């Protein structure tokens, strides 16, 4: 087991550590361990190779919060992102980490009222998170001044390049303070990014998160797409449909773990939590109860689950999607031990689909989409369990003591025989077989971030008119790689530098994988929900 650093060791102030603890984060990710001390120590430019979902926002956001001067009401940091969704997400994340520090962080993107943006900029802003097109709009209007910024962050740089924003990025960089520090985060480092770095970054340090690949073959892996508000209901159904459920439930933060355990115990399940706030004695006591199956559900965070060695788990459930592929591999590796079969289930919200697909590709495994068990199937499973248990008792008459026969005789004498058994079943299993005990879960599979209402996916293609591409040529190109009919490729849009197509969902991933070349930027990728700049 390798030594892990804590947030306390990264050079962050007590106020920021308090904000981190309040959010429930326990342990920094690899990219955070690499980036945070470096940003705090000197003015080195940085290129960080890290995938989406590895904690990049906090990696650059926490040092920014430390270094920004709240008393100076001017833009001190610009964060460039490819889409409006990411702009909102990054701004919200940094706002949630600033604690009591009086910083103004706003997202600026196309589609939002520019009048509203102007009003907020006039009041004074410290950090702007924006998409290239709208940032350029403000530069042209002279409503955004970047000559005094101290930090420029380019997030998902390869995605910005794929979407044809290279010229816009260069134009923005020309308007910035030449003495600023530049940090560039990218999943891949193609030649264009290196060229951009040579031109606009006076030297840099390259940070790379190491990759690991290992998934047990004895683990069935599936994922459910559900709303965040429906996760607990989905968890309850999974527990109930499995006879003798015995599993680990992973949450991202200790606050989430405590909340899930509270809900489980309120509903009558035998569950306990372990996380970073537990003493070693508490942890050992809880783990001992779990290993002896005095409790059958253990809710844990990654840091607290380290060292758990249980061979006969039926399930590992990712209540929160892991922050990186390595965490996914480590979590699900706890099933399928000692030759036992196990099931790994991951809950994802619609906007986490891309992250799930990345984990699948990284781990080189097959994670199948499935549906949350239906209420009627759970009730039927419970009925079967009751039937099997009663049959086992009937087959061994010695298991039935005389006192029950005497009681049964009295019931038969005083009541109608055909009504006694249903009445007993109701008396014993009324709550267990009550379908109203379960809440409704809304079907969102066909309305998720990547899908339209007909179960199709929108794909982005890094080719356009400048590459002498037409709609017909695009169709021929795809048909040459993947078995697909022309009529299955619809809503084709060929722009100057890129294109879009819509295909059946089941074909989308095959197309993306077929056009992926090792070490090269993806020619075809899943379109983000909105490509407006």
**CB of 55 closer than 8 Å to CB of 29:** yes
Q: What is the reported pLDDT for 320?
A: 92
Query: How confident is the model over 143-170, as pLDDT tens digits?
Result: 999 989 999 999 988 878 777 788 888 8
pLDDT at 1: 37
The residues, ordered by sequence, that sit 6+ positions from 160 with a Cβ below 8 Å of its Cβ are 80, 81, 82, 132, 154, 166, 169
Return the pLDDT at 433: 87
Q: Quote the CATH superfamily of domain 219-372.
A: P-loop containing nucleotide triphosphate hydrolases (3.40.50.300)
The residue among 361 and 340 whose pLDDT is bigger is 361
Q: Average pLDDT for residues 456-478, to the nearest whole number?
A: 86
Lowest pLDDT segment from 62-66, 234-238, 355-359: 355-359
pLDDT surpasses 80 at 473: yes
Residue whose entry in the numeric block shows the structure tokens 């804590």: 6
The ranges assigned to domains in the chain are 7-208, 219-372, 376-437, 450-526
**Does residue 229 surpass a pLDDT of 70?**
yes
What integer best gives the mean pLDDT of the chain? 84
- Write down the CATH superfamily of domain 7-208: P-loop containing nucleotide triphosphate hydrolases (3.40.50.300)
Confidence band, pLDDT 50/70/90 cuts, at residue 301? confident
> Rounded to the nearest 5°, which phi and psi values hold at 221?
-120, 125
Question: Higher model confidence: residue 268 or residue 523?
Answer: 268
Confidence of residue 214 (pLDDT cuts 50, 70, 90): very low
End-to-end CA distance of the chain: 45
User: Is the predicted pLDDT of residue 447 greater than 50, yes or no?
Assistant: no
pLDDT-based confidence at residue 520 (cuts at 50, 70, 90): low
Q: Reduce the DSSP state of residue 61 to 3 states and report it.
A: helix
Task: Return the sign of the alpha-carbon dihedral for residues 169, 493, 527, 521.
Answer: negative
Is the Cβ–Cβ distance between 449 and 353 less than 8 Å? Answer: yes
**Owner of token pair 């910005």:** 160
Q: From the CA atom positions of the chain, what is the Rg in Å?
A: 28
pLDDT bin (cut points 50, 70, 90) of residue 312 is confident
Q: Say yes or no: domain 450-526 is CATH 3.30.70.330.
A: yes
Beta bridge partners of 493: 500
pLDDT tens, position by position, 178-192? 889 999 998 788 888
pLDDT in tens, 262-276: 999 988 899 999 887
Task: Identify the DSSP state of 464.
Answer: -
Q: What pLDDT score was predicted for residue 532?
A: 39
pLDDT at 339 over 80: no
pLDDT of amino acid 64: 96
Token look-up 């460039």 returns 80
For residues 378 and 435, give the distance between their C-alpha atoms in angstroms, rounded to a whole number.
9
Q: Check if 7-208 and 219-372 are the same fold.
A: yes
Region of 408 (left: φ > 0; alpha: ψ -120 to 50; beta: rest) is: alpha
Poorest-pLDDT segment among 96-100, 203-207, 520-524: 520-524
Rounded to an integer, the average pLDDT of 433-442 is: 83
Query: Residue 460 corresponds to which tokens in the numbers above?
Result: 């982005």
Residue 523 CA to chain centroid, in angstroms? Answer: 24
Write down the pTM of the prediction.
0.55
Range of 73-77, 409-413, 511-515 with top mean pLDDT = 73-77
Answer with the residue of higher pLDDT: 298 or 495. Answer: 298
- Answer yes or no: is pLDDT of 7 > 60: yes
Buried b (16+ CB within 10 A) or exposed e, 481-508: ebebeeebbeeeebeebbbbbbbebebb
Q: Over the stretch 52-81, which tens digit does the pLDDT of each residue have?
A: 667 889 999 999 999 999 999 899 999 999
Whole-angstrom distance, CA of residue 495 vs CA of residue 162: 13
Buried b (16+ CB within 10 A) or exposed e, 285-316: ebbeebeeeebbbbbbbbebbeebebeebbbb
- Residues 272 and 410 sit within 8 Å (Cβ to Cβ): no
Pull the structure tokens for residue 112: 């939002």
Contacts of 467 (CB under 8 A, 6+ apart): none
Q: Is pLDDT of 127 > 90?
A: yes
pLDDT for res 296: 94
**More confident: 493 or 102:** 102
For the chain, the helix, strand and coil percentages under 3-state DSSP, each to the nearest 5 = 45, 15, 40
Which of 506, 474, 478, 479 lies closest to 493, judged by CA? 474
DSSP H/E element including 91: helix 84-97
């Amino acid at each position: 087991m390798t030594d892990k650093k804590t947030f306390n060791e990264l050079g962050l102030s007590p106020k920021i550590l308090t904000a981190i603890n309040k959010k429930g984060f326990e342990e920094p990710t690899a990219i955070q361990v690499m980036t945070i001390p470096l940003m705090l120590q000197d003015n080195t430019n940085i290129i960080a190779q890290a995938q989406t979902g590895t904690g990049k926002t906090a990696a650059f956001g926490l040092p920014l919060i430390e270094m920004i001067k709240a008393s100076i009401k001017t833009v001190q940091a610009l964060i460039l992102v490819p889409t409006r969704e990411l702009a909102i997400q990054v701004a919200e994340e940094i706002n949630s980490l600033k604690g009591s520090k009086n910083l103004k962080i706003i997202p600026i993107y196309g589609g939002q009222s520019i009048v509203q943006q102007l009003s907020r900029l006039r009041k004074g802003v410290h950090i702007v998170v924006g998409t290239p097109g709208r940032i350029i709009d403000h530069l042209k209007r002279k409503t955004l001044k970047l000559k005094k910024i101290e930090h420029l962050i380019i997030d998902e740089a390869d995605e910005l390049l794929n979407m044809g924003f290279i010229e816009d990025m260069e134009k923005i960089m020309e308007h910035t303070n030449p003495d600023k520090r530049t940090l560039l985060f990218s999943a891949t480092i193609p030649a264009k990014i290196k060229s951009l770095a040579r031109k606009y970054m006076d030297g840099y340090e390259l940070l790379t998160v190491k990759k690991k690949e290992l998934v047990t073959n004895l683990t069935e892996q599936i994922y459910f797409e559900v709303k965040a508000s429906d996760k607990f209901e989905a968890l309850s159904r999974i527990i109930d449909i499995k006879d003798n459920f015995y599993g680990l439930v992973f949450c991202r933060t200790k606050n989430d773990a405590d909340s899930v355990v509270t809900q489980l115990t309120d509903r009558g399940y035998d569950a306990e939590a372990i996380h970073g706030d537990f003493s070693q004695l508490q942890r050992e006591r809880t783990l001992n109860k779990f290993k002896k199956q005095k409790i059958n559900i253990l809710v844990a965070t990654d840091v607290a689950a380290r060292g758990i060695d249980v061979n006969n788990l039926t399930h590992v459930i990712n209540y929160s999607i892991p922050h990186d592929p390595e965490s996914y591999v480590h979590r699900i590796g706890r099933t399928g031990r000692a030759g036992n079969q196990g099931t790994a289930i991951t809950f994802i919200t619609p906007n986490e689909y891309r992250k799930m697909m990345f984990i699948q590709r990284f781990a080189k495994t097959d994670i199948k989409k499935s549906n949350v068990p239906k209420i009627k199937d759970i009730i039927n499973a419970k009925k079967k369990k009751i039937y099997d248990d009663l049959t086992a008792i009937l087959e061994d008459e010695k298991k039935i003591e005389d006192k029950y026969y005497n009681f049964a005789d009295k019931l038969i004498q005083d009541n109608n025989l055909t009504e006694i058994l249903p009445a007993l079943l109701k008396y014993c299993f009324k709550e267990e077989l009550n379908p109203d005990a379960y809440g409704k879960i809304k079907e969102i599979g066909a309305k998720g971030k990547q899908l339209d209402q007909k179960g199709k996916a929108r794909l982005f293609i890094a080719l356009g008119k400048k590459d002498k591409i037409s709609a017909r040529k695009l169709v021929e190109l795809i048909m040459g790689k993947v078995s697909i009919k022309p009529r299955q490729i619809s809503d084709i849009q060929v722009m100057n530098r890129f294109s879009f197509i819509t295909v059946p969902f089941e074909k989308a991933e095959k197309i993306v994988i077929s056009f992926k070349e090792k070490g090269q930027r993806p020619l075809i990728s899943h379109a983000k929900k909105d490509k407006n700049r």
